[in-house]
Amino acid sequence: METGEMYTGESSAASHGPGMAELTISQIYVQPQTINAGDPVVLGAVVRNQGTVATGPFFARFSLDVTREIFDMEMPNIEPGASYWRDWEHAPLEAGDYTFYVSLDPEHQVPEINRYGNNSTHTKFTVNPAATVTQDVAVTDTADAKVKEISFDDEPITIEVPVTHVGKGRTGTQEIDQLLDNLKGRVRDHWTNYSQGLIQFTNRMQFSSEQEAAPQYLDATFKAVGKQALEIGLGKLGEELGGPWGKIIGTLKAVGEAWVAEQERVEAAEGEVKIVSYIEGLGNGIGPRRDEMIGSIEAEHIPLADYFKILLDRSMSSTEEGNITGDAAEFLTDLRQRVDRFKQAIPSAAQFQEDFTEKFADTPVMTDLISHGGRMAGNLRIRAQITVRDNQWDVDEIEDEWTLVTVAPKPERLAAGLQSALANQGKKPWQSDLEKIVQLTINMNDGYIVFTHDPLQFEPRSNYSLEPFESAWKSSRVRERVLGVSKIVGSND
């Protein structure tokens, strides 16, 4: 089964070369975070068009290594600056280690600025063994079971039914209370992290009170990041259940869209805006939007609790012994998993700070005329001199830092903020979402290794033969030296 949804976000796509699309995978994920044999699995990716024209229809190829499954997902036309997420709702998998691969446009239907380096990626995950059930009704506090043993004419037989664990003697209303309280807590977490990320970015940048910027530029930095994060998270909650739950998700999305539209009206009315005032206004709007979302959840409490009671009656379940079965168990387990997926999708404050910094620095235009030494901005660069030693590629010299090349103001503060945000997540500069350009010098000849996410998915560039640069970069010794550099400096040149 497949699901998907389009969301738009202003970006710097219009600064790319004329008349071409540019597909990139901005996120790949596997849900839930902890998977047991017998659990349904959701494999998904977020695809973004960073080019200047729409993509037209194409397809993305999802695949699993162990089962050797290939699933081609039809993708719609994606406008410039827009993104689309696709979920592969996979049947339960056997216990073991898996690798999930995503490849965009494998038949090259979409003319692109850069086809190599950002059209494929992968992630690894593990499916744990299922719990063994030996008692009449056996479940654990950490996982749901799907087996119940009963007796018939004094002979034990085992049948498979959905079973989930609840507090002994708890009512259906109490279960729904706990579930919705958990969801409200996750909504608070989302807005808290967004606010803290905004504060951390602002504190790092130290904008003057008079510094101005085009509202579209600020919009692409702050609004687009918040909208994308919220829509990805709400997408994990899903709408296909319908009824009270679907109404909750629909209302949450409507509140988020109203927040974006309100900000757009303010920007359109003001023209050029002061950066500090813009960020203050954005921050002041967080509390009301958070409270409105929480209110929409509370409004559906009674209808959702009533619906759950109907399922309990239909399943002939009782919470007196701490377990429920049938449709009620499936419903409650499904909602728990959806809320957990939403929780896992919430960016941390450091991730929000990273996203704000990268968006602000992502200015893919030339820093100056080529004849004046200008180069393309909106990327991270590093240089290394490579040689052959003992029949192996090795690094003779390497810069001590990556350079964040941007035409945005305060490049050094941007670089320091990006380094801090990445370090707080245990990440290195190469794991930033910005494009990376590694300049390799071999025998006085220069070549470039270009990648965005996966260092092994790269594009070599040079006026000389590409073979030595490809070979050198494939050397783990060379890659480890380059990717191990953790410092970032900023430059407008």
Domain spans of the chain, in order of start: 2-129, 172-351, 363-491
Q: Which one of 33-47, 275-289, 461-475 scores highest in mean pLDDT?
A: 461-475
* DSSP secondary structure code for residue 14 in this structure: G
Residue 169: per-residue pLDDT: 54
What sign results for the dihedral spanned by CA atoms 101, 83, 486, 403?
Answer: positive
CB of 459 within 8 A of CB of 451? yes
At 326, give phi and psi (nearest 5°): 65, -145
Residue 310: per-residue pLDDT: 74
CB of 357 within 8 A of CB of 409? no
Residue 423: per-residue pLDDT: 94
Of 69-73, 140-144, 387-391, 472-476, least confident by mean pLDDT is 140-144
Give pTM, 2 decimals. 0.63
Residue 317: per-residue pLDDT: 57
Which homologous superfamily is 2-129 in?
Immunoglobulins (2.60.40.10)
Q: What is the overall mean pLDDT for the chain?
A: 81
Alpha helices in 300-401 (DSSP H): 301-314, 326-345, 349-361
- Closest-CA residue to 278 (of 353, 326, 213, 354): 213
Residue 352: per-residue pLDDT: 92
Of 49-58, 161-170, 184-193, 378-387, least confident by mean pLDDT is 161-170
Tokens at 106, concatenated: 């494998």
Q: pLDDT-derived band of residue 151, with 50, 70 and 90 as boundaries?
A: very low
Report the percent of the chain where pLDDT is more than 70: 81
- Closest-CA residue to 227 (of 202, 264, 196, 201): 264
Residue with tokens 């600056």: 81
| Alpha carbons 452 and 275: distance in angstroms, whole number | 29
| Alpha carbons 189 and 250: distance in angstroms, whole number | 19
Residues contacting residue 17 through CB under 8 Å, at least 6 positions apart: 52, 113
Whether residue 137 is predicted with pLDDT greater than 60 in this model: the reply is no
Q: pLDDT-derived band of residue 462, with 50, 70 and 90 as boundaries?
A: very high
Burial of residue 177 (CB within 10 Å: 0-12, 13-18, 19+) is: middle
Q: pLDDT-derived band of residue 328, with 50, 70 and 90 as boundaries?
A: confident
